[in-house]
A and B are shown apart, each in its own frame.
Chain A
Amino acid sequence: MAKTETFNAPAVTRSWLPPMDGGTAIMAALIGFMGFYVLYPLTLIVINSFNTATIAEPEVYGLDAWRKAFAEPGIWRSLWNSIKIGLVLQIVALPTGIFISWLLARTDIMFPNALEFGFWISFFLPGLATTFGWMLMLDPSTGLINSWLRQMPLLSGLNFDIYSFSGIVFVHLVSNGISTKVMLMTPAFRRMDASMEEASRMSGASAFTTLCRITVPALTPVIIVVFLLSVIRIFSSLETELLLGVPWGFYVYSTKIVDLARQEPPLVNQAAALGSIILLFLAIFIPLQRKLISRRQFTTVTGQFKPKIIELGIWRYPATAFVGLIIFILDVVPLLSVLGGSFMTRFGFFNLPKTWTLEYWRMALTDPRILQGLHNTLIVAVSAGVVGALFFSLIGYILVRTKLPGRGILDTICWLPSAIPGVLAGLGLLWMFLGTPIFRPFYGTIVLLVVAQVLGGITLATQILKANFVQLGKELEESSRMSGAGFWRTYLRIVFPLMAQTMVMVAVIKFMFAAQHNGAIILLATSETRTLSLLALDQVAAGYREVASITIIMITVLTLGVAIVARSFGLKVGIRAD
């Protein structure tokens, strides 16, 4: 028996790619590297919450940071505020998203493709653009809508204040709250077997009863997944609260961490204590989330594709108008107001002697800070895109195509960053770079920002790549192996060229995320390494609204523009069944 085993062992290992020793080495290196990259900064947060010395000082361990953090009511309030925003947001956004997805996918609403594209635009529109666009509209004193309301005879008492809890929730709804759900759920509604609904009609139920009792309940698993993905986002939100909450002293946990870390002297240890609480919550929540998501979904999808749609009859027009209005609020209003803000002498003042001006654009295009920001953004985003696509394709390939031990661990490590709020990742990296002597020379350089932003999109990138590797016929690689090519040659000569299109897409997505999201880099950037998004935040905070509009337009062109180009190459977003 033992003899047969030794005889068989080399044959077995040779059939898995790459060969046993080389493969294990690669896997060990990847787990080690990714583990260090993802987990070490987080560990530092927890460790340093028990440290009372600031960064780069000799550690003095104690519970002082925790004691102070708990003593200050602001910390608890910021946590509660995060949860409150998340709850109210989902209560409104989820039913709205379900209803719109159903309208788009299952009914004869007019222009369904154009309307869906509207939500797609909103999905990729930088949150900063939506937030700022609506700030220009709903500022209690200067907001355009509010000044119009004041001129109306009967509505003069009405005034919307965007610097409020409901203002923050509203901006979340219009920036990503609704569009994410529509983007993720519409494909699921579309793929659902229409005969389930038809069976309900034949049983005697009306179209509306069928929606409530069959369609939505049958799609519950998808809805739960979308809900869980959204819940996690509560904690990654930063920009909206920074612009709309901080001015009136309303903090959520992410803005509180930034506030603590930026105080003079910085209260990084208290920030770490607050961060540890979030990590604890995530440590409970993520496994639960993954378990629920990976649970077998109802087989609502059939091979037999019947795109039968429900006739809305007279309701067709109001339904189209309703969805059209939502898109107007999500896309058109913020874009127009940001554009208007950059070309108007004073935004919203149409009766000034000189209403329109190019002066701000002239200023912006010669402003060294903006040019520096553009430069920094391009470096960070392009690096994140290229490194992300190349490196994560290797990880995705190894996860899908090999049987190496430790794939589960690597997969889990790649899952984590999607759940780790950017601010926490940034806080951890800050510690890692300042606290580890060999990394310290990098502090203050743009390398830090690249490192932080590459991390940001790991989950999405590996998920997309994995899904595409699964679709790629295995025979193509096997025939390369049979022709005598080894693992690396097969990967470089066969897999890589075949996956080129997907990798470009992953690069584009990572580029957009890096150009758009501030959470991970806000604590790492200096005035020299500031990106456009960070610059825009500073400009708005300092009251330079017109110039901020221009910075935000640049970010929008960089992100949404690139997304539209990528879309023409077939970029799709949706829940993948893998």
Chain B
Amino acid sequence: MSFLRIQNLYKTFGGQVAAVNRINLDIAEGEFFTMLGSSGCGKTTTLRMVGGLEKPDSGAIFLGDQCLVAPEKNLFIKPEKRNMGMVFQSYALWPHMTVFENVAYPLKLRGIKGAEMSKKVEDVLALVGLAGLGERPAPALSGGQQQRVALARALVFSPKVLLLDEPLSNLDAQLREEMRRELKSLQQRVNITVIFVTHDQIEALSLSDRIAIMKFGVLEQVGTPEDVYFRPATPFVRDFLGKTFLLSGKVASANDQTISVDIQGSSSASLNLPRGKALTSATKSLTQGQSVTVAIRPEQVNLTSGRQDGRANMVEATLQTVQFLGDRYEYTVTLGTETRVLASPEQQSAKSGDRVYLELKPEGMTLWPSEK
């Protein structure tokens, strides 16, 4: 039984382009669910429709067995009646109130007063690590602290769902990492259903139980972080998450166990891919001679300067430049006419113009239809 259900949700701005194009989602109770995509993909619009800050053109949203919005039935529950907490990208702390007053506001609106209110506010401030800062005016806090206040304000009335709209994007890199870890542990302690919107893949991968990747208002893939990272369903998901190293080739042979691919621009190279891992939903059928793209994460490519005999899946390339980046070296190589960039923590003896070899780990390779 899903807890929050989104059915055929559709929304346009100005009637032209669909910001959210008939999406369906089922989110379980207590789940940390992330919507990931670049800006303008419809993730924030979807979140705001769940919160009631935007109205869909059609479709429906259910919370448990209650219908929150259904334009066809002329049904719309106002945001203040939905009992959801929300943290905004700008935090939206009210500058004329202290931290305590900001957090107490939702309680006052629910008729909770006096000692009970104070206790709840103090508890939630302690929960987010701000005990004792209640009397500060909200604008006098640092970015990270403001973020915690916004979180406290969204949690204080024990909402059914917590909506997070890019809450970490205004923090500097170090603080963002810290808050990310805290957010995860907080969610586990409170055990609340979270819908989290971000364009940052690290946040999405590290925090989520499941991720929905959106593009142009459509869901590209929904799955666990491992699913979407290692088994991307579409080229967009594959390239959006992490870096990919692409090689063009043709199918030389295929049987039940392995698929053999000849790599263009490298006369010697032929790759053998284990069929079970390599095939994606985008490549159902294969014929001999078909143009394909082999994708692999750069961390699963090993660069060596000499050819090591007896090893399979070696591709020959020419080293162009080497750059030292502190924790790693970045190698720019050419395969035939194409240029690729690889990183490795190890320094190689090869120099510019030298022949180098790339060893591709078989289990890391996936096979895609040719992209041109």
Closest to B105 in A: A203
- Give every chain A residue within 8 A of B80 (Cβ-Cβ): 201-206
Contact pick for B53, options A198, A214, A217, A220, CB 8 Å: A198
Do the beta carbons of B154 and A202 come within 8 Å of each other? yes
Contact pick for B92, options A196, A204, A220, A298, CB 8 Å: A196
Asked if A164 lies at the interface with its beta carbon under 8 angstroms from chain B, I say no
> Which of A10-18, A299-307, A557-565 faces chain B?
A299-307
Q: Tell me the bound Cα distance from A213 to B150 in angstroms.
A: 17
Given A204-B110, A299-B139, answer yes or no on A195-B96 (Cβ-Cβ < 8 Å): no
- Give every chain A residue within 8 A of B97 (Cβ-Cβ): 217
Asked if B56 lies at the interface with its beta carbon under 8 angstroms from chain A, I say no
Contact pick for A199, options B83, B92, B157, CB 8 Å: B92
- Give every chain A residue within 8 A of B157 (Cβ-Cβ): 203-204
- Give every chain A residue within 8 A of B96 (Cβ-Cβ): 217-218, 220, 298
Interface mask (A301-315 → B, CB under 8 Å = 1, otherwise 0): 010100010000000
Contact pick for B88, options A198, A213, A220, CB 8 Å: A198
Q: How large is the interface on A (under 10, 10 to 19, 20 to 34, 35 or more residues)?
A: 20 to 34
Interface mask (B52-82 → A, CB under 8 Å = 1, otherwise 0): 1100000000000000000000000011111
Given A196-B92, A199-B92, answer yes or no on A298-B51 (Cβ-Cβ < 8 Å): no
Q: Tell me the bound Cα distance from A206 to B77 in angstroms.
A: 12
Residue among A203, A206, A304 facing the most chain B CB atoms (10 A cut-off) = A203
Closest to A300 in B: B95
Asked if A209 lies at the interface with its beta carbon under 8 angstroms from chain B, I say yes
Q: Tell me the bound Cα distance from A83 to B2 in angstroms.
A: 66
Q: Tell me the bound Cα distance from A217 to B105 in angstroms.
A: 14
Do the beta carbons of B78 and A199 come within 8 Å of each other? no
Do the beta carbons of B95 and A198 come within 8 Å of each other? no
Contact pick for B86, options A198, A220, A300, CB 8 Å: A198
Main secondary structure of the interface of A (DSSP, over half): helix
In the complex, how many angstroms separate the beta carbon of B330 from the nearest chain A beta carbon? 33
Contact pick for A202, options B51, B110, B139, CB 8 Å: B51
Asked if B90 lies at the interface with its beta carbon under 8 angstroms from chain A, I say yes
In the complex, how many angstroms separate the beta carbon of B194 from the nearest chain A beta carbon? 14
Asked if B334 lies at the interface with its beta carbon under 8 angstroms from chain A, I say no
Q: Tell me the bound Cα distance from A208 to B283 in angstroms.
A: 56
Contact pick for B153, options A199, A206, A302, CB 8 Å: A199
Asked if A54 lies at the interface with its beta carbon under 8 angstroms from chain B, I say no
Do the beta carbons of A195 and B89 come within 8 Å of each other? yes
Interface mask (A113-147 → B, CB under 8 Å = 1, otherwise 0): 00000000000000000000000000000000000
- Give every chain A residue within 8 A of B93 (Cβ-Cβ): 196, 199
In the complex, how many angstroms separate the beta carbon of A133 from the nearest chain B beta carbon? 40
- Give every chain B residue within 8 A of A203 (Cβ-Cβ): 80, 105-106, 109, 153, 157
Do the beta carbons of B95 and A299 come within 8 Å of each other? yes
- Give every chain B residue within 8 A of A241 (Cβ-Cβ): none
- Give every chain B residue within 8 A of A480 (Cβ-Cβ): none
Do the beta carbons of B139 and A217 come within 8 Å of each other? no
Asked if A193 lies at the interface with its beta carbon under 8 angstroms from chain B, I say yes
Within 8 A of B (CB), among A198-245: 198-206, 209, 213-214, 217-218, 220
Do the beta carbons of A214 and B90 come within 8 Å of each other? no
Do the beta carbons of A202 and B84 come within 8 Å of each other? yes
Closest to A216 in B: B96
Q: Tell me the bound Cα distance from A505 to B113 in angstroms.
A: 55
In the complex, how many angstroms separate the beta carbon of A139 from the nearest chain B beta carbon? 46
Closest to B53 in A: A198
Closest to A219 in B: B96
Asked if B94 lies at the interface with its beta carbon under 8 angstroms from chain A, I say yes
Asked if B85 lies at the interface with its beta carbon under 8 angstroms from chain A, I say yes
Within 8 A of A (CB), among B110-168: 110, 139, 150, 153-154, 157, 163
Contact pick for A302, options B84, B85, B90, B139, CB 8 Å: B90
Q: Tell me the bound Cα distance from A193 to B139 in angstroms.
A: 14
- Give every chain B residue within 8 A of A299 (Cβ-Cβ): 95, 139
In the complex, how many angstroms separate the beta carbon of A166 from the nearest chain B beta carbon? 34
Do the beta carbons of B53 and A201 come within 8 Å of each other? yes
Given A199-B88, A205-B109, A206-B80, answer yes or no on A218-B53 (Cβ-Cβ < 8 Å): no
Interface mask (A158-181 → B, CB under 8 Å = 1, otherwise 0): 000000000000000000000000
Q: Tell me the bound Cα distance from A217 to B157 in angstroms.
A: 23
- Give every chain B residue within 8 A of A298 (Cβ-Cβ): 95-96, 139
Do the beta carbons of B89 and A304 come within 8 Å of each other? yes
Q: Tell me the bound Cα distance from A200 to B109 in angstroms.
A: 10
Within 8 A of A (CB), among B314-350: none
Contact pick for A198, options B79, B85, B109, CB 8 Å: B79
- Give every chain B residue within 8 A of A202 (Cβ-Cβ): 51, 53, 79-80, 82, 84-86, 154, 163
- Give every chain A residue within 8 A of B105 (Cβ-Cβ): 200, 203, 205, 213
Q: Tell me the bound Cα distance from A202 to B84 in angstroms.
A: 6
Q: Tell me the bound Cα distance from A201 to B82 in angstroms.
A: 10
In the complex, how many angstroms separate the beta carbon of B148 from the nearest chain A beta carbon? 15
- Give every chain B residue within 8 A of A196 (Cβ-Cβ): 92-94
In the complex, how many angstroms separate the beta carbon of A257 from the nearest chain B beta carbon? 41
Do the beta carbons of B106 and A204 come within 8 Å of each other? yes
Do the beta carbons of A217 and B109 come within 8 Å of each other? no
- Give every chain B residue within 8 A of A204 (Cβ-Cβ): 80-81, 83, 106, 109-110, 157
- Give every chain B residue within 8 A of A201 (Cβ-Cβ): 52-53, 78-80
- Give every chain A residue within 8 A of B88 (Cβ-Cβ): 195, 198-199
- Give every chain A residue within 8 A of B94 (Cβ-Cβ): 196, 199-200, 214, 217-218
Within 8 A of B (CB), among A469-524: none
- Give every chain B residue within 8 A of A300 (Cβ-Cβ): 95
- Give every chain B residue within 8 A of A198 (Cβ-Cβ): 51, 53, 79, 86, 88, 92
Q: Tell me the bound Cα distance from A299 to B94 in angstroms.
A: 10
- Give every chain A residue within 8 A of B53 (Cβ-Cβ): 198, 201-202, 308
- Give every chain A residue within 8 A of B79 (Cβ-Cβ): 198, 201-202
Contact pick for B90, options A205, A220, A304, CB 8 Å: A304
Closest to A214 in B: B94
Q: Tell me the bound Cα distance from A302 to B53 in angstroms.
A: 18
Contact pick for A193, options B82, B84, B92, CB 8 Å: B92
Given A202-B51, A202-B80, A205-B109, answer yes or no on A195-B95 (Cβ-Cβ < 8 Å): no
> What are 15 pairs between A and B in contact, CB < 8 Å?
A193-B92, A198-B88, A198-B92, A202-B53, A202-B84, A202-B85, A202-B86, A203-B105, A203-B106, A204-B110, A209-B109, A218-B95, A298-B96, A299-B95, A308-B53
User: Assuming A196-B92, A204-B80, A213-B105, what are 13 further A-B pairs, CB within 8 angstroms?
Assistant: A195-B88, A199-B86, A201-B78, A202-B163, A203-B80, A203-B109, A205-B105, A205-B109, A206-B78, A217-B96, A218-B95, A298-B139, A302-B90
